[in-house]
Structure 1
């Protein structure tokens, strides 16, 4: 049984806290936060305000970092030096230089690091990966994806691009990462977008050419008006087939249970509705990470080499946004 210290209790921290209730062979031992909004959320756990208390506790095996992005590097490095395994919410960090420092430290200290690219565990997205790997969808040549919502309301630090990276790193990275998971290395990117008053990239559309010939168009936005449902969708096409998924939930993805969804495989004139298990993706993700630690198993779903590549890819998209030019990788 692994003891978890959950660090940060914002939106994603609360999501992880709830997910751990269904994770086997692990339990939340300590919650480290300075902002407890409801005692009911944490009354079954040890609560501390200082991260040093977590690092000094020999009972803690794993630190789950659910803090603002600009804090990730320093907290990961401190946890690694305290010989704690680490789970970190995406994005890992904002720059390639920061990634190198993080990966070097966890390697030097001999601890495990897992990064929460949760879309790789989303059942409808897992189904697409399975269909491509098993050639149910053979020779996909066109892929589109969207992720649209309002600006996150749970914290003000999102407004500052040097702290959050804006929608580019917070939202766009989900589908960029998943497209890389599907199709591999990228040949070039070209992106258009708009910036917020603070200078953060708040909505964007990226065209990607993969080295295997697949072309993709991926759109993300934090600029949708109030009342517009949080929307996630994709379409993967071959010359004869299309797999299409659409989901519309509540504002800021806080109402997935009542989301409207469609998921269909179009094969010539035949339309086949696709059914998937309704397992919580965050639970699936955290269970996988815990299993990797307990079994000393290789992380084959989100290897750190993928995390490093995707941060580089996002920064190439950022360069394209800034220069208004095609960026070749």
Structure 2
């Protein structure tokens, strides 16, 4: 391919605005070529004055628009169908979290992407925070030694009510509750920093405040990885995390690192702590740039369907653990061929 990558946006809801801002920060490698949404006013608002073509149906966009890739920003339960349709149309795919909602959907997604030979990148925007990227670099370099434990936190006071929560209030369309929504972020972050494949999971869920929704509003999850790392996730829509709670931390045989999501510090045993001064980035701009370069250079994105399926496996295993009141295996979700 030659630049720029021509992207068609599928779904013009709230998160799509951040994605469009990412396109506009990458004019040398990305063209916002089309947008599909059944609500024309929403599509027009996202298109603005960019010249993007507007479609009511993304299937029509896939058939008619001059695009190389799609960016899926739909409600959770619609992800699988859109991924499969885009792959079969030969389009590369950027998909908002979660990748899909079940083991069967995961197999369909993986098979469609592999058969089509297209690139699928999970839109795991927090991986592009400078603190996360630097922490991963330090861990991979062995700065804190063999990693023993990783912790991630993503909690905030959510002002959802029965009138404004929409499809997220229903397990059939959201896939569960807070854990498969906002909780997806600390889960993929945990996977990224742990550096292994998840094998076991146990969880406790709670509904502290948002009692009108079908799923949980808070979750604590413990994960064992195949490299021996133990991970802990704390996530909630019910409350803000306590002061000094880390966004993520890792402890290893030689020391530790911790971050509030913006700053990063690490401490090797016997040495003075180091606090790093990191330049901020527009994480959605960085995410879109990475997606475009992956297509143009034919390189692997940070997280493909493989990692998306592993994150889903942790979350579905957590839900199973709550149902059975036992530690659950994280099922292998590779496609059955």
Q: Same fold per TM (> 0.5)?
A: yes
Partner of 1:201: 216
Task: Note if contact 2:151-2:190 (Cα within 8 Å) is conserved in structure 1.
Answer: no
2:79 and 2:94 mapped to 1: Cα distance? 11
Q: Per the alignment, do residues 98 and 125 of structure 1 end up closer, same or farther by CA in structure 2, a change over 3 Å counting? A: same
1:285 and 1:148 mapped to 2: Cα distance? 22
Task: Note if contact 2:143-2:254 (Cα within 8 Å) is conserved in structure 1.
Answer: no
Q: Does 1:21 align with 2:31?
A: no
Give me the TM-score of the superposition, normalised by structure 1. 0.86
Task: Note if contact 1:137-1:241 (Cα within 8 Å) is conserved in structure 2.
Answer: yes
Task: State how 1:51-66 maps to structure 2 within 5 Å.
Answer: 51-66=58-73
Task: Note if contact 2:223-2:314 (Cα within 8 Å) is conserved in structure 1.
Answer: no
Task: Note if contact 2:12-2:46 (Cα within 8 Å) is conserved in structure 1.
Answer: no
Worse overlay, 190-199 or 67-76: 190-199
When the two structures are aligned, how many residues end up with a matched partner?
313
Q: Per the alignment, do residues 242 and 150 of structure 1 end up closer, same or farther by CA in structure 2, a change over 3 Å counting? A: same
1:120 and 1:322 mapped to 2: Cα distance? 31
Partner of 1:257: none
Local SS of the residue matching 1:282? helix
Task: Note if contact 1:88-1:115 (Cα within 8 Å) is conserved in structure 2.
Answer: yes
Task: Note if contact 2:87-2:116 (Cα within 8 Å) is conserved in structure 1.
Answer: yes
Local SS of the residue matching 1:171? coil
**Structure 1 vs Structure 2 CA RMSD:** 2.5
1:119 and 1:40 mapped to 2: Cα distance? 23
Q: Per the alignment, do residues 10 and 271 of structure 1 end up closer, same or farther by CA in structure 2, a change over 3 Å counting? A: same
Task: State how 1:30-69 maps to structure 2 within 5 Å.
Answer: 30-33=34-37, 34=39, 36=41, 39=45, 42-44=48-50, 45-69=52-76
Q: Per the alignment, do residues 58 and 6 of structure 1 end up closer, same or farther by CA in structure 2, a change over 3 Å counting? A: closer
Partner of 1:82: 89
Partner of 2:185: 174
Q: Give 5+ residue unaligned stretches, structure 1.
A: 248-260
Partner of 1:215: 230
Worse overlay, 149-158 or 111-120: 149-158
Deviation at 1:54, TM superposition (A): 0.9
When you count strand as a share of all residues, which structure comes out higher?
Answer: 1
1:95 and 1:275 mapped to 2: Cα distance? 41
Equivalent of residue 245 in structure 1, options 259, 264, 269: 259
